[in-house]
Copies of this chain bind each other. A is one copy, B any other.
Amino acid sequence: MALIGATAGSAALYAAMKSIRHVQPSSYKGPIKLDGDPKGAKVLILGAGLAGMVAALELRSAGYDVQVLEYREKAGGRCWSLRGGDTYTELGGATQKVTFDGDNYINPGPWRIPYDHHGVLDYCQRLGVQLEPFIQQNHNAYIHNSKAFGGKPQRFKHIATDYRGQTSELLAKAVDQNRLDDVLTSEDREALIESLRATGALDDTNSYKAGDLSSRYRGFGKPPGAGFDGAPSASDPISLSDILQSGMWGRLADADLLDHQMPMFQPVGGMDMIAQAFAREVGDLIRFNSKVVSLQQDDAGVKVAYEDTRTGDTLTAEADWCVCTVPFSILGQMDHNLSPELTAAVNNVFYRGSAKWGLEFKRRFWEQDEHIYGGISYTDLPIEMISYPSTGLFTKGPAVLLGGYTWDDAQAFEFNAMQPEDRIKWALEFGSHIHPQYLEEYKTGVSVVWHKVPWVLGCFGIWRDKETHYANAVKIDNRVVCAGEHVSYLGAWLEGAIESSLDAIGRLHDKVING
């Protein structure tokens, strides 16, 4: 801690505050301005994900002659939703036909938007994408550890309240017993104890224990109601030792991360509503089903060879400049003559193989039986989490939840190696430890393992040595500039793709205009 010193008057505090580094809310600088006439310069954009479409939109409006080549049959890249009727074929050939009910969907890629991702939020507003709250935090959802509490999931509110209460008690009592007199002023000691009582639900002996006070946070044993028997009764806290040994504290601060803080948002109807909105603007510039196989440049221009995936024909495209938003996992496999520095950067990035499941159940048993409306339950089982839909709350009929989202590499590799039917089998098996209703209520499902997604081979780029190579990935390489979440410090987020693209085209435009 910097200092626990004497307090100062508000003028002094204010002076101190001003010396604290200003906190900038976002690196997004607002709508880009590309002044100056590019005189019809031709730009070829590789990839119609968000980075590619932002570039297409802004460069066309600045006067460029723009063409976009896209491997897939539609726009969006990882900004992707799967709905009933969709078919998805992964690397290796396994094909899943999605049979979700009605408008149900799952977002295999990005699925939530933080409140400070102003680039995404701004384009959503400009392009008319309707947003709704994404419920990240749910105090009534579970933390589950198969090796603690007999494998019985615990409500987040119980673990969180009891951990906070009992650690507050430990500290308040230590302060009160003069054990910390050497590091605290007497004025701060008093305020600290008072604050710990308030935030930790401690009584006036600084104890956290069963009673009305703790129950007002963790929930009552018998909740308050009406009638003769309306008075509530207290619930019993879980001991600190049990919580500590359960390891469940590992998830307590998840929703306090800047990227996960309330409020978060999602597009109404699925994340690809953003892709669709961009495609309405620039779809006419995109040539779909075009697999780029070669990217060559010289001082005169850029030449790209691509295969039409429907006909098998190889075609070529030429341009003055190229914005390459192809993931490095794919770019590294292409025939290209990029500089050694950029090539080294491309090879420095690997891609995570996260697995995600969309599981449809006959009814919202998590709402109807367990009163969990949106939010996330965490587990130590390989599925890692279950996220309940934030949309269609309280409706009847089938609904889709996120049946798992893996981060751990070892687990991801195992799921990536499985066939779709086995992945579903395991997601149901693991999930049923948290929700026994799984086996009875399951209707249909789909899973995406990102190492097998043909157009990216992973879910997002991770730098082995960012310090050495990042600037070479950013730098305009003669006539080619790279963009995408991988070329940013906002990796894995839509915001990274958008800000990277804006940064890249800003510098490209400057080079075109000013040389």
- Which residues of A in the span 19-44 have a Cβ within 8 Å of any Cβ on B? 20-28
B489 engages A253 (CB within 8 Å): no
Partner of A135, one of B188, B263, B374: B263
Q: At the interface, yes or no: A514 with Cβ under 8 Å from chain B?
A: no
Q: At the interface, yes or no: A147 with Cβ under 8 Å from chain B?
A: yes
Chain B residues near A474 (CB-CB < 8 A): 226-228, 230
> 0/1 per residue, A106-150, Cβ < 8 Å to B?
000000000110100100110000011101011110000001111
A219 engages B148 (CB within 8 Å): no
Q: How large is the interface on A (under 10, 10 to 19, 20 to 34, 35 or more residues)?
A: 35 or more
Q: How far does the alpha carbon of A335 sit from the alpha carbon of B371 in the complex, in Å?
A: 45
Chain B residues near A253 (CB-CB < 8 A): 198-201, 217
Partner of A1, one of B124, B219, B240, B250: B240
B249 engages A199 (CB within 8 Å): yes
Q: How far does the alpha carbon of A246 sit from the alpha carbon of B252 in the complex, in Å?
A: 26
Q: At the interface, yes or no: A236 with Cβ under 8 Å from chain B?
A: yes
A139 engages B261 (CB within 8 Å): yes
- Which residues of A in the span 483-498 have a Cβ within 8 Å of any Cβ on B? 483, 487-490, 496
Q: At the interface, yes or no: A447 with Cβ under 8 Å from chain B?
A: no
A140 engages B160 (CB within 8 Å): no
A43 to chain B, nearest CB (A): 18
Given contacts A27-B222, A226-B500, contact A133 B390 (CB under 8 A): yes
Q: How far does the alpha carbon of A114 sit from the alpha carbon of B118 in the complex, in Å?
A: 30
A325 to chain B, nearest CB (A): 12
A157 engages B263 (CB within 8 Å): no
A196 engages B209 (CB within 8 Å): no
- Which residues of A in the span 204-263 have a Cβ within 8 Å of any Cβ on B? 207-209, 215-228, 230-233, 235-242, 244-247, 249-250, 252-253, 256-259, 261-263
Interface segment, one of A179-187, A290-298, A304-312 = A179-187
B138 engages A242 (CB within 8 Å): no
A186 to chain B, nearest CB (A): 12
B257 engages A1 (CB within 8 Å): no
B223 engages A26 (CB within 8 Å): yes
Q: How far does the alpha carbon of A225 sit from the alpha carbon of B252 in the complex, in Å?
A: 27
Chain B residues near A5 (CB-CB < 8 A): 239, 241
Q: How far does the alpha carbon of A446 sit from the alpha carbon of B330 in the complex, in Å?
A: 59
Interface segment, one of A9-17, A83-91, A413-421, A434-442 = A9-17
Chain B residues near A503 (CB-CB < 8 A): 225-227, 230
What would be 17 A-B contacts, judged by CB atoms less than 8 Å apart? A2-B237, A17-B152, A17-B238, A21-B233, A25-B371, A27-B226, A115-B371, A216-B257, A216-B259, A224-B489, A226-B502, A226-B504, A227-B503, A230-B474, A231-B489, A262-B375, A265-B373
Residues of A within 8 A of B (CB): 1-7, 10-11, 13-14, 16-17, 20-28, 115-116, 118, 121, 124-125, 131-133, 135, 137-140, 147-152, 155, 157-158, 160-161, 163-164, 166-171, 173-174, 179-180, 183-185, 187-188, 191-192, 195-196, 198-201, 207-209, 215-228, 230-233, 235-242, 244-247, 249-250, 252-253, 256-259, 261-263, 265, 371, 373-375, 390, 393-394, 470-471, 474-475, 483, 487-490, 496, 499-504, 507
Task: Kindly list the 3 A-B residue pairs having the minimum CB-CB distance in the complex, ordered from nearest.
Answer: A14-B150, A27-B225, A224-B489
